[in-house]
Amino acid sequence: MPVKVLIVDDSGFFRHRIEEMLRDDARLEVVGTAVNGKEAVEQVKRLKPDVVTMDVEMPQMNGIEAVRIIMREAPTNVLMLSSLTHEGARVTLQALEAGAADYLPKDIRAWMDKTSGVRSQLIDRLVALGRTRRFQRSSALDRSYPGRGDKTGTTMVFRPDDPTPVRRPRATERAAVPNASTTDVRRPLPPVTRPPAAADTPTTPASRVQFPNCKLVVIGASTGGPAALQKVLMALPANYPYPILLIQHMPKTFTQVFAERLNQQCQISVKEAEDGDRLQPGRALLAPGGLQMMIDPRQKDRVRILAGDERLTYKPSVDVSYASAAKTYGSQVLGVILTGMGADGCDGARLLKQAGATIWAQNRDSCTIYGMPQAVVNAGLADAILELDDVGPLLAQRGSR
C-alpha cells in the first residue's frame, strides 16, 4: 500500500508544488491538504495519514502548535518544512522538540529548480517516515527527563523515538570516505562488504555494557538526531572527563542554532565547531553544516573544519569524522551511531574497529529511522546495540567516576 500523505501549507504554490513532486511516485498517495494548523489537526484525525508535511508559519494556528496537538491527540509522523534563516532554524528545532520527526529546508529557489534534488529528498523522507510505526506503544509520549532546562530552569520534555526499519540504503548513498592521514579530504576507501541483514539483532542490556578505555567520544546522527542527541547529552554531568565530537546532518544555519540550544539545555558546554577549536573535557563540538570536521593530525587536541571532497553526499559526514578519529586516537575512541537515514558512518566505523576502537549503535526500536545504525550493526561493527534511553546514562556513569 502507498504511504498516505497530508500536505499542510498556507501557500497555494507550495501545496501545488509538493503534490506535483509526489504525483508520479507509486509509493506515495496525497490524501488531502490543509491551509493552517487547525485544519491540519482536523484532517489528521479524519484522514489518518501516515505522514504529514507541515509548514511552520500559518494563520489561525502555526505548525508548532499543530504538531503539539497532533502528537497528543492523533500521533503521526510529521515532516517540517521551514526556511533556511536563523528564525526558521529556531522554530524548526522547537517543532522537533514538540514531536516532529524530521525537517526539510524550504528554499523557494531550490523548490522551483527541477534539477535541485529537492524532489528526491522529499520523496525519500516521506517514504521512510511513512513506513515507520513510531507511535504504536502507549509510552511513546510525555516522558520527562531532568536536565539543566531552558533559560527559565524548567525541565525539558522529550518524546522517545519508536520506529521500525524502512528501506535499505542504495549504493549511491554510501559516500566516499577520506584518507584520515591527510587533511585533503579526497581519497575514497573501498566500499564496505556487508553481510545480509539480521532479522532481529538483540539489544544489549545496559548492565552488560562496560565503558571502554577512551579519550574521545564521537557521536553521529541524522533523521531523529536532534531529539536523540539532546536526550543523550542532557544526561552528562558538567565535569564530564572527555571531549565529544557531534556530527548531525544539518545545514549551516541549523547547526549554529542547534549548538546554542544544546548549550542552554545541557550541563556540559556545546558549541558549533570552528577551525582550530581545542578538544576539552566536558565540551562537545558540533560539526558545522556544509563542512567537514576532522582532528588536526599535527595537533591532536584541535579540530580542523574543511570544505572536504565535493563528491561526499553528507556535509558534515560521520564517516569523515570517524575516519579522522581512527587515525589520530585509534583504540582510544568511543564511536556512537544514532538514528538516521542512509549508511553514513559505516565506512568510518570500519576504520575505527580496525584501529581497536569501540562502537555503540542505537537499537531498532528507539530509532526514528534505523538506517545508519542498521548499516553498522549489519556489518558486524557494533560492540553494543543500545536503547536510546541507556546511551546517556552509560556515558554519564563513566563521567561520574
- What is the rounded average pLDDT of the residues 219-224? 96
Q: What is the pLDDT of residue 312?
A: 82
* Catalytic residue annotation: 222, 249, 344
Q: What is the pLDDT of residues 342-385, one digit of tens each?
A: 999 999 999 999 999 999 999 999 999 999 999 999 999 999 99
Q: What is the pLDDT of residues 294-331, one digit of tens each?
A: 999 999 999 999 997 777 889 999 999 999 999 999 99
Residue with cell 536526550: 231
Tell me if 217 sits within 8 A of 245, measured CB to CB: yes
Plot region of 59 (φ>0 → left; ψ -120 to 50 → alpha; else → beta): beta
CATH code of the domain containing 196: 3.40.50.180
Q: Taking Cα atoms as reference points, which of 165, 102, 164 lies closest to residue 133?
A: 164
Q: Taking Cα atoms as reference points, which of 319, 312, 310 lies closest to residue 337?
A: 319
Q: What is the pLDDT of residue 310?
A: 77
The full DSSP string for 50-87 is SEEEEESS-SSS-HHHHHHHHHHHS--EEEEEE-SSHH
Question: Containing domain of residue 385, as a range?
Answer: 183-399
| pTM for this prediction | 0.82
Residue 28 pLDDT exceeds 50 = yes
Q: Count CA atoms within 13 Å of residue 77 on its CB side.
A: 29
Residue with cell 583504540: 331
Which one of 137, 157, 192 terminates a domain? 137
Q: What is the pLDDT of residues 112-169, one digit of tens each?
A: 776 668 889 999 999 999 988 666 433 333 333 333 343 333 333 333 333 333 333 3
My answer on whether 224 and 312 are in the same domain is yes
Domain membership flag for residue 32: yes
My answer on whether 9 and 109 are in the same domain is yes
User: How does the average pLDDT of the chain come out, rounded?
Assistant: 84
Tell me if 203 sits within 8 A of 214, measured CB to CB: no
The full DSSP string for 373-397 is HHHHHHTT--SEEE-HHHHHHHHHH
Domain membership flag for residue 175: no
